[in-house]
Amino acid sequence: MSAESIARWNAIPLDRPEPGPEQASTLKRSRSEDGHSDRDDDDVSLVSRSPSPVDRMDVDQSIDKYDEYHRGPTREVITVETRLKSTNKGFAMLAKMGWAEGQPLGLSGDGRIDPIPFTIKNDSTGLGKVTQDVRMIETTVSQRRELDSERMTKESEEQRKAREDAAAKKAALQQEISSTLRPFYCELCDKQFKNVAQYDEHTNSYAHHHKARARDMQAAQKLMQGRGTKEDVDRRKEKERKREEREM
Ligand SMILES: [Zn+2]
């Protein structure tokens, strides 16, 4: 800042003079009247340096303009259904490029005529999730196998017979298989084997031998107990005999 301008700044009085009637009107300047040169700005006091906002209501605007003043000019509402007016900027641009209303867009002129429709999504699921769910439900319901009970209620007499025949055949087959496999059945362990190899392996296994040992031990124990009681009986008989001898 030059010394000259500093001096000018200092010369500005700090207390603002009371605005007289004619001064009040000059304070209410519009922006266009504001000087833009430095010199002009420097002549204005500190207080009035920032221009007060132009009070639009102050100008000779009628009370009818109040709403417009607060909300701004009413906007033209464009929806998918309403057509653009010829005053619309985009309309004018398209028209300048040779487009006429009702014509499809695109270089080859085969674009869409109507705007892209849209649906409003109010939920928070991912895009396409609902469609996927619906599709999945539909396929699940259509492909679900009928329950046996459901099928039975629907079947005719011969269908029922066929089903029963099949069941009987299956049971017979099962019977046959079990009789064929009889040699590969371990009675001790109550286990059925399908071939010699499996059966062999089982009879050599620890589990099988363990069972066999346990069974043998139990048998031996029973035998011992039986013998014990037999001995007791013998002893009693012997005692009785001796007593009879003494009595005689
Ligand atoms: Zn066994």
Is the predicted pLDDT of residue 38 greater than 60, yes or no? no
Residue written as tokens 């639009």? 56
DSSP state of 34: S
Higher pLDDT: 22 or 235? It is 235
Q: What is the pLDDT of residues 203-243, one digit of tens each?
A: 999 999 999 999 999 999 888 876 666 677 788 888 888 88
Is the predicted pLDDT of residue 30 greater than 50, yes or no? no
Residue 207 alpha carbon to ligand 1 centre in Å: 7
Query: Coil, strand, or helix at residue 145?
Result: coil
Is the predicted pLDDT of residue 143 greater than 70, yes or no? yes
Q: Provide the pLDDT confidence category of residue 172 given band limits of 50, 70 and 90.
A: very high
Residue 183 alpha carbon to ligand 1 centre in Å: 12
Q: Please, what sign has the CA dihedral across residues 48, 52, 55, 56?
A: positive
Give the residue from 40, 60, 62, 59 showing the smallest Cα distance to 51. 40
Q: How many residues are given for the chain?
A: 248
Question: Tell me, what's the pLDDT at 18?
Answer: 58
Residue 197 alpha carbon to ligand 1 centre in Å: 14
Question: Tell me, what's the pLDDT at 77?
Answer: 72
Residue 172 alpha carbon to ligand 1 centre in Å: 26
Residue 198 alpha carbon to ligand 1 centre in Å: 11
Residue 203 alpha carbon to ligand 1 centre in Å: 6
Q: How far apart are CA 214 and CA 222, in angstroms?
A: 12
Is the predicted pLDDT of residue 41 greater than 60, yes or no? no
- Any idea what the Cα angle at residue 163 is, between residues 161 and 167, rounded to 5°? 115
Question: Tell me, what's the pLDDT at 34?
Answer: 47
Is the predicted pLDDT of residue 132 greater than 50, yes or no? yes
Q: Provide the pLDDT confidence category of residue 17 given band limits of 50, 70 and 90.
A: low
How high does pLDDT run on average in the chain? 78
Question: Tell me, what's the pLDDT at 63?
Answer: 64
Question: Tell me, what's the pLDDT at 25?
Answer: 46
Residue ranges near ligand 1 (ion) with Cβ within 5 Å: 186, 188-189, 208
Q: How far apart are CA 235 and CA 245, in angstroms?
A: 15
Q: How far apart are CA 45 and CA 23, in angstroms?
A: 13
Residue 9 alpha carbon to ligand 1 centre in Å: 117
Measured torsion, CA atoms of residues 72, 73, 78, 79, in degrees rounded to the nearest 10: 60
Q: How far apart are CA 196 and CA 188, in angstroms?
A: 17
Question: Tell me, what's the pLDDT at 168?
Answer: 94
Q: Provide the pLDDT confidence category of residue 49 given band limits of 50, 70 and 90.
A: low
Question: Tell me, what's the pLDDT at 26?
Answer: 46
Q: Provide the pLDDT confidence category of residue 52 given band limits of 50, 70 and 90.
A: low
Residue 186 alpha carbon to ligand 1 centre in Å: 5
Is the predicted pLDDT of residue 33 greater than 50, yes or no? no
Of 26-30, 192-196, 213-217, 235-239, which range is least confident?
Answer: 26-30
Residue 189 alpha carbon to ligand 1 centre in Å: 4
Q: How far apart are CA 124 and CA 116, in angstroms?
A: 23
Query: Coil, strand, or helix at residue 105?
Result: coil
Q: How far apart are CA 195 and CA 201, in angstroms?
A: 10
* Residues 6 or more apart whose Cβ sits within 8 Å of residue 211: 188, 189
What's the rounded mean pLDDT across residues 21-32? 47
Above pLDDT 70, what percent of the chain? 74
